[in-house]
Structure formats: structure tokens, C-alpha cells
Structure 1
Amino acid sequence: MRLARILAALTMLATLGACTTIQIDPLPEGMTDQPPADWTTRAVNLDKLDHWKLSGKLAVRQPSDSGSAIINHWIQDGEAYDLALSSSFLGMGSTTLKGVPGFIELTLPSGETYRSGEPEALVEAATGWQLPLENLTWWIRGLPSPASDYRLLFDNQGTLAIIRQNGWEIRYDRWQAFLSAYPALPARITALKDDKRVRLVVSDWQEQPE
């Protein structure tokens, strides 16, 4: 049944446009879209952080279902990622996601492995969760993805508060100095799109050797 569900969902997937025009809404009170003087330097430094290992918790809320998962590890090796989740939700158990932009390999607790060139579609078919996987690699560092248009909003201390991109609003709820060689990194982010919400809390973050 799970295989039939995954294949059917992938077959029915509609191709969406990659670029989204950013609607210029009124700024939230106390925020500005003018970056602070050190933003370019900060962004360049964070872009260099592309080998890491973090752990934490992921929570998803959407109309069809909701649930949470422990992030046992998220290992990023350049563009390649290895994400291990544990959850009793929907019988996910220990699920691993390995991939690069445009490709994913998903292994279920049963040992069944599925591969797809549509990472988000495969994850949704297997778990029911809609996760912006490839953008999360950027958003988790406090950076917009360079693949599409975006808008940045900063609070009155010059700290990044919101990224709006691809129909998602990513709110940076808490920052923490995890790594001495880098600026403070997000410790909790909330990504919102229509009636979907993804919250990611980071408990530990380590830099990995290249």
C-alpha cells in the first residue's frame, strides 16, 4: 500500500514554476527591509558554513495531519545532506533522507528505499508532510536560497527576523552562538505557507571537516 501511495502521488505531481514574485506588503511594525551595514559580511561568512552536523526537533502542522520528529542528525556535506528522523507519527519510525539538489533517497523503517528527482513530492507521498527540503538548507543558516526571489526583513536591532521566499514566510524566533568561528545561528525557526507550519528547533550544531 505504501509503495502504491508513493508511486501514485509522484505520477500525479504537477510541475510548479520555480520562481515566485514577491508581493510587497506593508512592513510589520518595528521592521525594515534595509539590511544592516554588516549584512553582506555576515551572509558571506554563513555561506562558507556548508559542512555541519546538527540535532534537534522538527514539528509539522497542516490541515491533513500534524506531528513531530526528533532530528537524530542532519549532516550537510556541501550540497549533499543526510537527515535521520525518528517519530511515531504515521508509523515513520526511523526514517533517513539522503540527497542533493534535485535528487533524494528515502529509506523507511522497514528498509524499503525509494529514489526520486522530486524530493519534496517523495517526502510528502511517504510521510504526508510538506517540507521545503532544498530551501531549508539555506534557511536553517539564516540565508535566503539563491534559486529564487526573496525579501528580507530586519528588526530594530538589525537582526534578520523574516525571509519571504517561494510563498513561505520564515520567522527567526531565536538565535544562538553555536560555533565560535561563525555569527549566531538560528536556534528556532518557524516556516509558514498558507495553512501549513513547519517549526525547527536546533539543540546542537557542530562544524564538520570537509
Structure 2
Amino acid sequence: MKYLLPFLFALLLSACATPPPKHSGSVDAERHQQRLNALTHWSLSGKLAYRGPEERFSANLNWQQWGPDYRFRLSTFIGTSLMDMQRRGKSVALTLDEQTYRHRHAGTLLENLTGWPIPVEQLPHWIKGSSMGAIERQISDNGLLQRLQSSTDWQVTYDDYRQLGDYVLPYSLRLTHQNHLIKIRINQWQPIDDNHAL
């Protein structure tokens, strides 16, 4: 029973984290992008699914962002850690199988150790619907980012935005690059005032 309790508690928490209703209004596109770029302290939880030519997996996703620093965690559906990546300053630390590895470039470190080409450096922008750094973007009629193309040939598409306080944030996005596909479904967003650390 003691092994079952943490699992039941996690299920209860996930059931309580009900996403807000889908956004049905419109925003001023440029002003909205400026607000997203200014949002630098936030956290989220959800699910990430990866499919590549040789591997596929699904995992729970937790991300905490405070300025340029972050903590990015993937875990199994029963809470076992798959990876835990943290950036502090110019150093990135990745913990896998109770071993910690360091590098200056998060994406390179993750792909070298796991084979997963997850664009970690760009995700803090893309995951909140910001087109910062995109070489091409498509804005929908309601002023929200619908698709972007990056200089690294990643394409990101969005199909679900929801109003959360003063922000309209994506709850579903799809990243494609050659024969790699990443789907992210967000269950809970928490924008945080930039004057407060996570």
C-alpha cells in the first residue's frame, strides 16, 4: 500500500489541474508577442511525446524558468525520473541514471547522451508561443502564432490556446524536424511575476 499512495496522490493532483477553457477571442499580434517575450519567470507541467526513426517515448514534462535559467525534467507516468536538466548561468547539468554530466550547450549535451534531438535552447520561447528568433512565422486571424520556422529547420505549429489571467498561452504544440516529431501537451501553466524567483 505504501508504494501505491504516491501514485494515487499524483493522480489526484493531475485531476485537480484542470486547464482553463479554450481562448475564443482575439489579440493584437505584436503587443501579444511583446508580452510573451517579457514573460521570463514561469512554470508548467504536462506531457511530452517524442517519435524518431529509431525510438519513441512519452513522458511527464515539468519546466521551471527564471530568466535565462531553467530546470527541465522528464519522468515516467509513475514518477520515475528519466532526465533532469538544469541551467545555471553558462553551465548546463544533466542527470541521467544518477550520473551528472555538464556542458555549455543543452541541446548538444542531451542529444549526445540520449539521442533525443530536443531543441532545449529554443523551447523557453516556443513553448509559450513566442516567435523570437524565427525566420518565418504565420499569425492566425485572431492574432495568435499559428506556425513558425526556425533557422535550425524546426517547424512549430500551435492548435490550442487558453486564457490564463492576463496571458493567452498555448496548451498544445507540435515540433517537427526531418523525421523527428515532438508533441507537447500542457496541463498547467503558472506565469510568475518577474520580480519573484521560482
Whether the TM-score (by the shorter chain) exceeds 0.5 is yes
Q: Which runs of 5+ in 1 are unaligned?
A: 1-35
Q: CA RMSD in A?
A: 2.1
The equivalent residue for 1:96 is 84
Once the two structures are TM-superposed, the CA of residue 127 in structure 1 deviates from its matched residue by 2.1
Once the two structures are TM-superposed, the CA of residue 118 in structure 1 deviates from its matched residue by 2.4
Once the two structures are TM-superposed, the CA of residue 37 in structure 1 deviates from its matched residue by 8.2
Q: Give the 5 Å matches for 1:1-210.
A: 38-71=28-61, 73-87=62-76, 93-99=81-87, 103-108=91-96, 110-146=97-133, 149-166=134-151, 167-177=153-163, 179-182=164-167, 184-208=168-192, 209-210=196-197
Q: Which runs of 5+ in 2 are unaligned?
A: 1-25
Q: 1:143 to 1:70 in 2, by over 3 A?
A: same
Q: 1:194 to 1:102 in 2, by over 3 A?
A: farther
Q: Are 1:191 and 1:199, in contact at CA under 8 Å, matched by a contact in 2?
A: yes
Q: 1:94 to 1:192 in 2, by over 3 A?
A: closer
Q: Are 1:57 and 1:68, in contact at CA under 8 Å, matched by a contact in 2?
A: yes
Q: Are 2:33 and 2:131, in contact at CA under 8 Å, matched by a contact in 1?
A: no
Q: Which amino acid aligns with 1:46?
A: L
Q: Are 2:130 and 2:145, in contact at CA under 8 Å, matched by a contact in 1?
A: no
Q: Are 2:43 and 2:63, in contact at CA under 8 Å, matched by a contact in 1?
A: yes
Q: Which amino acid aligns with 1:87?
A: T
Secondary structure of 1:130's counterpart equals: coil
Indicate the structure with greater strand content: 2
TM (normalized to structure 2)?
0.76
Q: How many equivalent residue pairs?
A: 166
Deviations 1:11-68 (A, max 9, x none): xxxxxxxxxxxxxxxxxxxxxxxxx982221111111211011000111111021111
Secondary structure of 1:83's counterpart equals: strand
TM (normalized to structure 1)?
0.72
Q: Are 1:102 and 1:119, in contact at CA under 8 Å, matched by a contact in 2?
A: no
Q: Which amino acid aligns with 1:83?
A: F
Once the two structures are TM-superposed, the CA of residue 154 in structure 1 deviates from its matched residue by 2.2
Q: Are 2:73 and 2:81, in contact at CA under 8 Å, matched by a contact in 1?
A: no
Secondary structure of 2:101's counterpart equals: strand
